[in-house]
């Protein structure tokens, strides 16, 4: 089995842990003061080397959080999860670095750099700021514009050979060399904050990114010219799409976008797959199945931060005291409230983008 970071797989999380040696998150969660709800709920389910980050947080010592996104489509509610985590770390004193993977989207998604720049600013950066990212100790950069990172990529590449790239990514004789090169750029994204001295670094990502993390950790320990601490990582589960399929920017019905209007949201919620029964009577008698419900997933991942309140919703559902129509109305109202606020915050954020960008 191989993880394809550019593919469309649906993941078996238990198997991923066993087959690739991702460690469970839960034992360390207990050592964190006030863990994020995504951590408490097991949505952040795995980690590598995360102990150093827990220690850094508990000792108030320096650490870096670095994670990036490819600017290739619109930003949806599934992407928001990473930003929520970044902000949580920022509140705990972390230094934040966010690469915009324009080289990667050029190499793997055929998005040219100018187009990537527009998508990155409008769809990603403005949303990050609107979600609450602060400029203090926070820098966002484009891969294509960060010369220090690019030069370091060349040096690090000496520690990676062709067979290894083939084994990890399944690259073949047909793979274009920009694509081949993009994971090496990512390795440098993650390690270049340590050019000024070793620093614990954590990369919170979706589990599809694990091949890059493994490669980065290996390169960090092989490279001897400067001291590099192998980066830690955490892995979160992906939200299912509203239709029950994979959530994807290229299939708008599966996702709520951060710039959707009220009507769009109403339709998507209305059409979403639930865990409800065929008839009202059955629902009253047997209750719903929140584990199979995309509306419940919206509560779990985004809409209800308070655990007690979430538990009540769960019990109402399984006890049959609420019907899916009313439950969808409630979800719709929460999303509407969030998006209305977000829209105003986006307007305010638009003037502030330059305060965050580095090498721009
Ligand atoms: N490969 C990531 C994606 O597909 C984007 C990315 C680039 C990244 N550099 C990174 C993620 C560094 C984490 C750390 O979205
Ligand atoms: Fe989902 Fe709500 Fe219906 Fe339960 S009542 S299945 S949570 S929509």
Tell which phi-psi region holds residue 32, choosing left (phi > 0), alpha (psi between -120 and 50) or beta: beta
Whole-structure pTM value? 0.96
pLDDT digits (tens, 9 = 90+) for 163-208: 999 999 999 999 999 999 999 999 999 999 999 999 999 999 999 9
Please tell me the number of the ligand nearest to residue 78's CA.
1
**How confident is the model at residue 149, as a pLDDT?**
98
Task: Say if residue 324's pLDDT is above 80.
Answer: yes
**How confident is the model at residue 7, as a pLDDT?**
85
Is the CB of residue 26 less than 8 Å from the CB of residue 32? Answer: no
DSSP for 204-236, please give it.
EEEGGGHHHHHHHHHHHHH--SS--PPPEEEEE
Question: In the predicted model, what is the mean pLDDT of residues 147-152?
Answer: 98
> Are β-strands 23-24 and 232-236 bridged in parallel, bridged antiparallel, or unpaired?
unpaired
Tell me, in angstroms, the distance from the centre of ligand 1 to residue 161's CA.
21
Tell me, in angstroms, the distance from the centre of ligand 2 to residue 269's CA.
12
Task: Say if residue 84's pLDDT is above 90.
Answer: yes
Q: Which atom of ligand 2 is nearest to the CA of 299?
A: 7
Residue 51 token pair: 């102990």
The residue to mutate among 244, 268, 273, 276, having the most atoms of ligand 2 within 8 angstroms of its beta carbon, is: 276
pLDDT digits (tens, 9 = 90+) for 61-70: 999 999 999 9
Strand boundaries in 122-260, DSSP class E: 138-142, 201-206, 232-236
pLDDT band at 8 (very low <50, low <70, confident <90, very high): confident
Please tell me the number of the ligand nearest to residue 321's CA.
2
Q: Which atom of ligand 2 is nearest to the CA of 313?
A: 7
pLDDT digits (tens, 9 = 90+) for 247-271: 999 999 999 999 999 999 999 999 9
Task: Say if residue 18's pLDDT is above 90.
Answer: no
Strand order across the 44-48 sheet: 23-24, 44-48, 232-236, 201-206, 64-66, 95-100, 138-142
Nearest CA to ligand 1 atom 6: 68
pLDDT band at 344 (very low <50, low <70, confident <90, very high): very high
Question: What gap in Å lies between CA 246 and CA 23, rounded to an integer?
Answer: 25
Please tell me the number of the ligand nearest to residue 276's CA.
2
For ligand 1, say whether the CB of 78 is within 6 Å of any of its atoms. Answer: no
Residue 250 token pair: 């290229």
C-alpha atoms less than 13 angstroms from C-alpha of 200 in its C-beta half-sphere: 19
Task: Say if residue 143's pLDDT is above 90.
Answer: yes
The residue to mutate among 99, 214, 219, 230, having the most atoms of ligand 1 within 8 angstroms of its beta carbon, is: 99
pLDDT band at 11 (very low <50, low <70, confident <90, very high): confident
**How confident is the model at residue 112, as a pLDDT?**
96
Q: What is the dihedral of CA 257, 78, 187, 32, to 10 degrees?
A: 140
The residue to mutate among 3, 67, 144, having the most atoms of ligand 1 within 8 angstroms of its beta carbon, is: 67
**How confident is the model at residue 305, as a pLDDT?**
96
Report the candidate in 1, 44, 17 with the shortest Cα–Cα distance to residue 202: 44
Question: What gap in Å lies between CA 357 and CA 360, rounded to an integer?
Answer: 6
Strand boundaries in the chain, DSSP class E: 23-24, 44-48, 64-66, 95-100, 138-142, 201-206, 232-236
pLDDT band at 2 (very low <50, low <70, confident <90, very high): confident
Q: Using a pLDDT cut of 90, give the percent of the chain over it.
A: 93
Tell me, in angstroms, the distance from the centre of ligand 2 to residue 207's CA.
27
- Pocket-forming residues, ligand 2, beta carbon under 6 Å: 274-276, 288, 290, 293, 295-296, 317, 322, 324, 327-328
**How confident is the model at residue 14, as a pLDDT?**
83
**How confident is the model at residue 169, as a pLDDT?**
97
Question: What gap in Å lies between CA 315 and CA 311, rounded to an integer?
Answer: 6
Question: In the predicted model, what is the mean pLDDT of residues 141-166?
Answer: 98
The residue to mutate among 283, 303, 327, 332, having the most atoms of ligand 2 within 8 angstroms of its beta carbon, is: 327
**How confident is the model at residue 64, as a pLDDT?**
98
DSSP one-letter code for 74? -
Task: Say if residue 9's pLDDT is above 90.
Answer: no
**How confident is the model at residue 349, as a pLDDT?**
98
Question: In the predicted model, what is the mean pLDDT of residues 27-37?
Answer: 97
Q: Which atom of ligand 1 is nearest to the CA of 5?
A: 4
Please tell me the number of the ligand nearest to residue 319's CA.
2
Mean pLDDT of the chain: 96
């Amino acid at each position: 089995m191989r993880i394809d970071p550019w593919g469309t797989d649906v993941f078996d999380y238990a198997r991923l842990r066993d087959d690739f040696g991702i460690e469970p998150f839960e034992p360390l969660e207990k050592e964190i003061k006030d863990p994020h709800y995504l951590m408490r709920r097991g949505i952040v389910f795995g980690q590598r080397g995360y102990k150093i980050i827990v220690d850094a947080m508990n000792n108030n010592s320096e650490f870096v959080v670095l994670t990036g996104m490819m600017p290739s489509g619109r930003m949806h509610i599934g992407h928001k999860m990473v930003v929520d985590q970044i902000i949580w770390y920022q509140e705990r004193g972390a230094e934040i670095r966010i690469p915009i993977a324009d080289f990667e989207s050029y190499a793997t998604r055929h998005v040219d750099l100018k187009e990537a720049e527009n998508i990155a600013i409008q769809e990603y950066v403005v949303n990050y700021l609107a979600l609450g990212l602060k400029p203090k100790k926070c820098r966002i950069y484009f891969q294509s514009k960060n010369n220090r990172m690019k030069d370091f990529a060349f040096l690090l590449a000496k520690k990676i050979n062709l067979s290894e790239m083939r084994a990890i990514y399944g690259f073949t004789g047909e793979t274009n060399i920009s694509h081949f090169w993009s994971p090496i750029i990512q390795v440098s994204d993650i390690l270049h904050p340590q050019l000024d001295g070793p620093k614990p670094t954590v990369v919170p990502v979706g589990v599809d990114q694990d091949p890059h993390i493994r490669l980065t950790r290996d390169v960090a320990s092989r490279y001897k010219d400067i001291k590099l601490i192998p980066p830690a990582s955490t892995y979160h589960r992906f939200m299912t799409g509203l239709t029950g399929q994979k959530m994807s920017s290229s299939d708008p019905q599966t996702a709520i976008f951060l710039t959707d209007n009220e009507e769009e949201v109403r339709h998507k919620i209305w059409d979403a797959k639930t865990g409800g029964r065929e008839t009202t009577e059955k629902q009253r008698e047997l209750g719903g199945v929140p584990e199979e419900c995309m509306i419940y997933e919206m509560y779990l991942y985004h809409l209800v931060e308070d655990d007690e309140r979430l538990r009540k919703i769960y019990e109402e559902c399984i006890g049959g005291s609420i019907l899916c129509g009313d439950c969808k109305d409630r979800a719709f109202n929460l999303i509407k409230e969030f998006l209305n606020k977000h829209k105003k915050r986006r307007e305010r954020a638009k003037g502030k983008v330059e305060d965050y960008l580095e090498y721009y």
